[in-house]
Amino acid sequence: MTQKKSNHLAAALRGFFCDYLPKLKGTSSHTIGSYRDSVKLLLTFLTSEKNSVDSLSFEDIDVNKIIAFLEHLEVNRHNSSGTRNVRLSAIHSFFRYVATMFPEHLELAQRVLNIPFKRTTTRPIEYFEFEEISAVLEQIDRSTPDGQRDYALLALMFNTRAVQFSFFNFGISIAFN
C-alpha cells in the first residue's frame, strides 16, 4: 500500500490566507484578494504540466519555474513590469510565511525570496506649489459668472486636493497673460 505524503503546500496556503494574512498581519481584504489572484495564477501556471492542482507540492516548485511564470506574465499575458512586481510581491510574502512555518522548506523559500523585482520607470510627481496655484487662480476673471464658477471649482479642487496633477486634465483652460 502506497503511503500518501502529507501536502505541506495545501496547509501552507490555508494558513497563509486564513490565519496569517487576516489575523496576524491584519491585511486588508483587497490585499488578500490580490495575493489570492497572484497565487491562483502561479498554481494554474504550475499545473499546465501536471494538469491537477490538488497534486501540487513544494517539490513541484522551484525558482526556475517561478521565473518562467513571471516571464509568462509579461510575454503571454502582456502584463507590465509593475504588475509582474505585484505578483512577485505576493509570492515573496507567501514564501516568507513558508520560511517561518515550514522550516523544512527554508532553502526553497530563501531561493524564491532572492528573485529580484524588475526596475520600472517611475512617473514624475506632478503637483503645483502654492505660488503656482495662486497664480492660476489670479488669472481667472471673477467679474463674469463663468469666471466665478471656474474660480469656485478650481479653488475647491485645490483646497480639497481633488486636483493632484494638472487641472488641464479636467478640460478647464485658463489663458495666461
Tens of pLDDT, residues 113-124: 999 999 887 777
Residue 166: is its pLDDT beyond 80? no
Smallest Cα–Cα separation from 95: which of 10, 13, 7?
13
Same domain, 137 and 101: no
| Structural domain boundaries, residue 158 | 130-170
* pLDDT exceeds cutoff 70 at 84: yes
Residues 17 and 45 in one domain: yes
In a domain, 144, yes or no: yes
Radius of gyration of the chain (CA): 25
In angstroms, the Cα distances linking 143 to 38, 61, 131, 151, 177 are 56, 70, 22, 11, 17
- What are the tens digits of pLDDT across the range 125-151? 667 777 888 888 899 999 999 999 999
H and E: helices and strands count for the chain: 7, 0
Number of structural domains found in the chain: 2
At residue 6 the predicted structure's pLDDT band, cuts being 50, 70 and 90, is low
Amino acid at 27: T
The length of the chain in residues reads: 177
Please say if the pLDDT value at position 170 is more than 80.
no
Asked if residue 138 and residue 92 are part of one domain, the reply reads: no
At residue 128, the pLDDT reads 72
- Whether residue 26 lies inside any domain: the answer is yes
Q: Strand, coil or helix: what is 141?
A: coil
Q: Is 150 found in the same domain as 103?
A: no
Mean pLDDT of 7-29: 94
Instruction: Classify residue 175: in a domain, yes or no.
Output: no
Confirm if 27 and 8 have CB atoms less than 8 A apart: no
